[in-house]
Structure formats: structure tokens, C-alpha cells
Amino acid sequence: MSAHEPGRLEARLRERRDAGRKLLVPYVTGGLGDDWVPALEAIAAAGADAIEIGLPFSDPMMDGPTIQEASVRALAAGATPQTILGELVEADAGGVPLVVMTYYNLVARMGHRRMASLLVESGVSGAILPDLPIDEIDPWKTEADATGIETVLLAAPTTPDARLRAIVGKAEGFLYAVGVMGVTGERSSLAASATAIAARCKAITDLPVLVGIGITTPDQAAEVCQVADGVVIGSVVVRRLLDGEGPDGVAKLVASFREALDSHS
């Protein structure tokens, strides 16, 4: 359990979870196409409880083909952390908390303190850095804590129990339970590991536990939410944006997940 007062992201997710709602956190790649901000606004309006914004990196180790492609397109269009966060300042997410997801080199290059401050100025509540495990996280977390940025941590199916407790001890916002051993991408069925890791996390923490990586259909989301508090959906959203379905297309998709989660909870 976090030692200090929960931040805005965590407070919002806890409140909704405690009210019996299953949580939905869609992901969009920042800087993807001209309408990624309207897409984000449409996702917020369609029932997201928080939104992840990817800051694209040239070498995304945890991402499969869909998010790789989105990153390539956004970078080719000139997206940088500054341009994306700058556009976020103008976005109207209707009070839905925003979480940035990126790779550590972009943070290291900008500097921990500058990145944390820039996130705050852009209205972002949290950060996910999948290639920064707890053993290496202190220099970042010191600055993030000082500015109030909540650091979301990942727990994997291979994480041993003792290490899982250490992760939970440092996690803020929510606990990101990695549903499948693999990179981001769509999967035709829900991996058994998804429910298993959610149950292991739930057993030792009161933080909201969200399962991500591989969640592709509303049915899969509802199924894993029999144990988990919610889901993160990424590639399935981004593919629609890559295919040109735009804000309306992703709004419809998010609404379908929302409906499945609401009717099962």
C-alpha cells in the first residue's frame, strides 16, 4: 500500500472501483495523425476512467507491430515529448486523469525533474515506464514524488512473490498487471496468466489492479474483470486509429468495452 496520500489518479480510480465500477483505461499514441487529440477527447467521453498517452520512442521494446507502427508514424510526423505534451495542454479530457506511457530513455534525455514538471504542467497525473524496473527506479521516483506525478508499476506473471510485494510497496495510481508473457498486441483469447496475475496482485494490495497487454475484446475484458478491477486496452484502440476510423471509431470501440464491463459488474 502506498505510504502517502493517494494522488489524483489513484483517488479517482479507487473511488470508482469502490463504487462497484470496473475500470477502463484506453491507450493512444501521442502525435498519431492530426486527430489524436479529438480521439482522446472522444475516448474520455465514451466512458474511460483514465487514459494512457504514449510518447513514441524509436526502439519500443515492449510493443508489438501495431504500436510500433503508430510510433513510427508519429515520429515521422515530427512528434516529440514537447509537442505531444504541448497539445495536451489544450485538450479537454473532461476531468479524466491522464497517464503518460513511454520508455526511459526519453525521460533520461530530458532529465527526470524537467520531465516530471512538464508532465504536471501538461495536466498529466501519472507515468508508466515499462523498461524501468523497481531496482532502477529511485532517481526517477524521487523527482516524480516531489512533483506529485504518480508512478504506475508493472507486475508480470514471472514476478516472484517477494518481488511482487516490493513492487506493490512502491506502486502508485494503479498496479499494472501484465496479462500475458509477451509484448503489446491483440490476442484471440484471454491468457490464463491474465486472471492468475490479477488474483495474485489482488491478494496483496488494495490498490486498483488493472490487467493490460493482450486484452482485445469486450468479452475478454469482462472475463478478466471477474478478478481484476479493470483493464488497459492499447493495440485494439490504436489499430482503429491506424486504419483511419478516427475519433468516432475509437469512441464506439471504447463504448463497447464500457458496456461489457458495466453489464457484468
Using alpha carbons, list the distances in angstroms from residue 264 to 215, 218, 229. Answer: 16, 11, 12
Q: Would you count residue 178 as binding other proteins (CB under 8 A)?
A: yes
Please, which residue, 132 or 222, has the CB nearer to other proteins?
132
Q: Which of 29, 122, 125, 159 binds other proteins (CB under 8 A)?
A: 159
Quick check: is 63 catalytic? yes
3-state secondary structure of 172: coil
Query: Which of the ranges 19-27, 98-106, 235-243, 252-260 carries the binding residues for other proteins, by CB under 8 A?
Result: 98-106
Q: Would you count residue 242 as binding other proteins (CB under 8 A)?
A: no
The strand pairing partners of 230, in sequence order, are: 23, 210
Residue type, 250: V
For every residue of 202-261, DSSP letters joined together read HHH--S-EEEESS--SHHHHHHHTTTSSEEEE-HHHHHHHHTT-HHHHHHHHHHHHHHHH
Q: Would you count residue 133 as binding other proteins (CB under 8 A)?
A: yes
Give the x/- contact pattern for other proteins in 29-68, rule: CB under 8 A: ----------------------------xxxxxxxx---x
Q: Would you count residue 70 as binding other proteins (CB under 8 A)?
A: no
Q: Which of 130, 218, 230, 247 binds other proteins (CB under 8 A)?
A: 130
Q: Would you count residue 88 as binding other proteins (CB under 8 A)?
A: no
Using alpha carbons, list the distances in angstroms from residue 231 to 142, 213, 226. Answer: 28, 9, 11
At its nearest, how many Å lie between other proteins and the CB of residue 113? 15
Could you tell me which residues come within 8 angstroms of residue 30 by beta carbon, excluding any fewer than 6 positions away?
36, 53, 54, 55, 56, 74, 79, 84, 85, 87, 88
Please, which residue, 42 or 211, has the CB nearer to other proteins?
211
Where do we find the cell 496520500?
5
Quick check: is 52 catalytic? yes
Residues with a known catalytic role:
52, 63
Residues that bind other proteins (CB under 8 A): 57-64, 68, 72, 75, 80-82, 104-110, 130-133, 135-136, 153-160, 163, 167, 178, 180-183
